[in-house]
Amino acid sequence: MLRIDGITRAFGDVTALDGVSLEIGQGEFFALLGPSGCGKTTLLRILAGFENPDAGSVTLDGADLLSLAPNKRPINLMFQSYALFPHMSVAKNVAYGLERENLPRAEVKQRVGEVLETVGLSAQAGRKPQQLSGGQRQRVALARAIVKRPRLLLLDEPLSALDKKVRADMQLELKRLQTEVGITFVVVTHDQEEAMSLADRIAVFDSGTVRQVDAPVELYERPRSRFVADFVGANNLFEGTAGGTGPLKTEDFGDLPCTAVEDLPDDSTALLAVRPEKVALREEDGLLTGTVLDVSFYGGVSHISVTVPGRDKPVLVAVQGASGVQVGAEVGLHWEEQDAVLLPVTQ
C-alpha cells in the first residue's frame, strides 16, 4: 500500500535519513524502531506532510503522496503528547476533525459514538481531558485519529507517557483496535518490547539508515548485523574468525558453535551472538567456565551475570523463575549450535 523509495533528508551537516526505502502493506502494523536521533520520527513527519525530503518518493496506493498538502492526505498522526484540546469534552475532541469537514451533525454524532464505544470511553464522553487518566487520554487521542477513517495512522511514541502496567494493557488495546478497524498503523518507538509485542514487521533504524526489516521473531532470533544483535534485546557477543558457516574460532575460548546468517569467506573476522535465555548453566564444564557475579530476580525470570576469564564483559544468562545458583559459584556455560548466530563483524 505504501512505498517509500530512496528518501533522504539532511538538516545542515546532519543527515537524518540516508536513502531509506520501505514497503508497508494494507492492514499491516509496522514499527520503526531505533535509538533517539536515528531518523524514525523525521520519516514519520515526511509521511504526515510536516517535512519535505531532499530526495526520494513516497506513494500511497500507487499515487504520489508528497505532492499533497498535509490536510489532503488520507493520513492521521497521533502525537506523543496526545495534543488534546483541554477546554473540550472527550466527545468534542473526537468530533473536531469531522466538524471541520462540515459533515452532517447526525453523522458526526453517530461516528463519534461508535468510535468511543470501540475504545471503551462512552461513559466518559462528557469529561474534559484533565479528568481522565493517562491511559484514557491516550484512548481519546486514538479515537480522534481513527474517527476520520484514515488509510494510514501514524503513531509517534504513543505509549511513552504511560506507566509500565498501563502500557502493557494499552499495547493489547492498540493491537485489538488495529485489527478491528482495519487501518494500517505505523508506530515510531525506541522501546524494543513495545515494537516486538505490537508489530507484524519491524524496521530497525540506525543513523538514518534501515539495518533490517523483519517479523519480530526473525529479527530477534536471526539478526543480520552487529547493531541489530546488540540493540534488539540483550545479547552476548564474541569476536573471532570464521569461514563458511562456522564455528567461530577464538584465541581465548577455542571453537564456539554457531550457525551463520550467510556464508563467510575463510578466516574472515566474525561475531557470534547468543541470547541469554539460550545459555545454559552447568555444574560440570561447559563451552566456557566462569564465576557468578550477580543474580537478579525479575519475577518470572532470573538474570545471572557470569565473569569469564579472558572476557571484559560478563556473560548474561536468563533462567525461568528463581535461580538456586549463588554469587561466587563456579559454573559452566553451554549453548547449542543452532541457538547462536554468526555475523560478519563489518556490518
What pLDDT sits at residue 162? 67
Task: Give the domain ranges of the chain.
Answer: 2-221, 234-344
CB-based contact 62:8 (threshold 8 Å): no
DSSP letters spanning 289-302: EEEEEEEEE-SSEE
- Please state, in angstroms and rounded to a whole number, the distance separating the CA atoms of residues 101 and 105: 11
What pLDDT sits at residue 283? 81
Domain 2-221 has CATH 3.40.50.1580: no
Residue type, 277: E
Task: Provide the H-helix boundaries in the chain.
Answer: 40-48, 90-100, 105-118, 134-146, 164-181, 192-198, 216-221, 226-231
Block means of pLDDT (10 residues each) for the chain, length 347 residues? 96 95 94 93 94 96 94 86 89 93 92 88 93 86 86 84 72 80 88 89 96 95 91 92 86 91 86 95 87 92 94 94 91 94 80
Paired sense of beta strands 2-11 and 55-60, if any: antiparallel
- Return the CATH class of domain 234-344: mainly beta
Strand partners, 269: 241
This prediction has a pTM of 0.85
Range 311-314, long-range pairs (CB < 8 A, 24+ positions): 311/238, 311/252, 311/253, 314/290
Angstrom CA distances, 256 to 22, 250, 253, 262, stand at 36, 8, 7, 17
Among residues 73, 51, 45, 65, the alpha carbon closest in space to that of 5 is found at: 65
What pLDDT sits at residue 184? 92
Strand partners, 250: 254
